[in-house]
Amino acid sequence: MARPGMGRGLAAILPEAAAEPELRELPVESIRRNPQQPRTQFGPDSLKALAASLVEAGVVQPLIVRPLRDGRFELIAGERRWRAARRIGLQTIPGIVRTADDASMLQQAIVENVQREELNPLEEAAAYQQLIEDFSLTHDDVALRVGKSRTTITNTLRLLQLPPAIQRYVKDGSLRMGHARALLGTPDRAFQEQLAKRAVSEDLSVRDVEDAIRSREGTPATKATRTRGTKLRPPGLLELEELLGDYLETRVRISMGPSRGKVEVDFATLEDLERIYRIVTEGRRPTS
């Protein structure tokens, strides 16, 4: 299912990239990869499974490419399918040929990958940063193009501030986004790396990381974990906020009183609120 605000497909966001699309059967060797492709990792097991699927059912979803002056084509979206097709020796593959400039091409590649959740967090952050630097976009502009909240874009971009060693942990899945955001709570990069290594080796929770940083920075845990009055927040509440925030891809705040609690969920636009509604009501993140 497409995300809200993207019901008309990528052309709804990038109409210039969808001008006069044409479905054709293209020689596999006439296609080259997109040098601006934000995704850099393609797991061998995943490619092997996809290749087996292509043998059984063929290529169900066409690639999206743009024509080049030398008669060849450049990928906009669908690199996994193209790689799998080459792996099993396919001579031709269906592709939708579109005229697209570099800006449209990069944006469309990012949108396609983000919607399919195929980028790891660091690749996603690097892609957003490239959009911002190359095309002078704001965080709000990027949020509109990829169908996510501005808060999610900003939080993801903050990962690029982490030391390379920690970025590798996030990239390979050893640390979650919640851990990474918690580590940004201290400016001491050496301590960030030390704590990240501990978090991986000792399987620390997000709250464990936050508490370690508060202790290091000399901030009483009670100051950061109090809600109204002088009551302490129940154990695990911060981690639940992080988990909900990661799942809904926005900022979540939880408060608890003596007999009831409250959950506050940030959203950027009506479309963003509809996206959150679908995640909650369907029990899963919508995909394209």
Cβ burial 25-56 (10 Å sphere, 16+ → b, else e): ebeeeebeebebbbbeeeeeeebeebbeebee
- Cα distance between residue 38 and residue 114, in whole Å: 10
- Which residue is catalytic, options 16, 79, 249, 271? 79
Report the SS3 class of residue 178: helix
| Torsion (CA) 277, 280, 282, 285 in degrees, nearest 10 | 90
Question: Which residues have C-beta within 8 Å of that of residue 102, sequence separation ≥ 6?
Answer: 36
Rg (CA), the chain: 22
Residue 115, CA distances (Å) to 28, 104, 204 in order: 25, 16, 30
Contact 129, 167 (CB under 8 A): no
Alpha carbon 208 to its chain centroid, in Å, reads: 25
Tell me if residue 79 is catalytic.
Answer: yes
* Residues identified as active-site: 79
